[in-house]
């Protein structure tokens, strides 16, 4: 079954919410600050590019990508 636009958007929205919470805990910051941080990442850009289908991956997989990026470990980010 092929995902429709609504289910893709919901998936991206749910993952974004999770990633904001993840950054809040990781960086000890507010949700607004966490959202600003997230929106500047390549991980978030990739998540929103529907052609990558990153929205199909688990939240743990994507948060590992994000953590690698936030730590500046691009080599690991590219492996994931």
Determine the pLDDT at residue 31. 97
> HSE (CB half, 13 Å, CA atoms) of 56?
9
Phi, psi of 13 (to 5 degrees): -65, -45
Number of domains in the chain: 1
Residue with tokens 């607004």: 32
Tens-digit pLDDT profile for residues 28-48: 999 999 999 999 999 999 999
pTM of the model: 0.88
Q: Give the structural domain span for 67.
A: 5-79
Identify the DSSP state of 2. P
Cα–Cα distance, 28 to 43 (Å, whole number) = 20
pLDDT tens readout for residues 16-31? 999 999 999 999 999 9
| Nearest one of 46, 50, 80, 52 to 65, comparing CA atoms | 80
């Amino acid at each position: 079954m092929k995902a429709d636009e609504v289910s893709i958007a919901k998936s991206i929205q749910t993952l974004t919410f999770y990633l904001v919470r993840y950054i809040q805990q990781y960086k000890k910051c507010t949700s607004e600050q966490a959202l600003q941080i997230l929106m500047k990442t390549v991980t978030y850009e990739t998540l929103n590019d529907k052609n990558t289908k990153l929205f199909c991956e688990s939240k743990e997989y994507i948060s590992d990508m994000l953590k690698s990026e936030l730590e500046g470990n691009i080599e690991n980010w590219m492996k994931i």
